[in-house]
Amino acid sequence: MTATIIGIATLFAFACLALALAFATVRLVIGPGARDRVLAFDTMYIIGVMMVLLMALRSGTAVYFDVALLMALFGFVGSSALAKFLLRGEVIEP
């Protein structure tokens, strides 16, 4: 298998994203407050979306783009719900 520039760049990007995911996981586990944990969660889902987009670039199929779009949508909804819970103490208002 010949090593192309795209192949080498995506492998390097995967390694960098894996390192960033490890740092975000550490922040999620030992975060001193709930806000730090929510930011770590946001960072982790954004990194996950980027990893799926890298897999789409590497494999050449368009299915991964739909998966990344759904991940971003659900991550945004989850972040909004967590932010509302931290501000008001409840997600669904009576």
Q: Where are the domains of the chain?
A: 21-86
Tell me which amino acid residue 84 is.
K
The owner of tokens 């960072």 is 43
* Angle (nearest 5°) at CA 80 between 93 and 87: 60
Q: How many CA atoms lie within 13 A of 52 on its CB side?
A: 17
The owner of tokens 């994203």 is 17
pTM for the whole thing?
0.84
Distance from the Cα of residue 61 to its chain's centroid = 20
Residue by residue, pLDDT tens for the chain (94 residues) are 457 888 899 999 999 999 999 999 999 999 888 888 889 999 999 999 999 999 999 888 889 999 999 999 999 998 888 888 888 876 666 6
Say if residues 21 and 40 touch (Cβ distance below 8 Å): no
The owner of tokens 């990194």 is 47
Q: Quick one: tokens of 63?
A: 């299915």
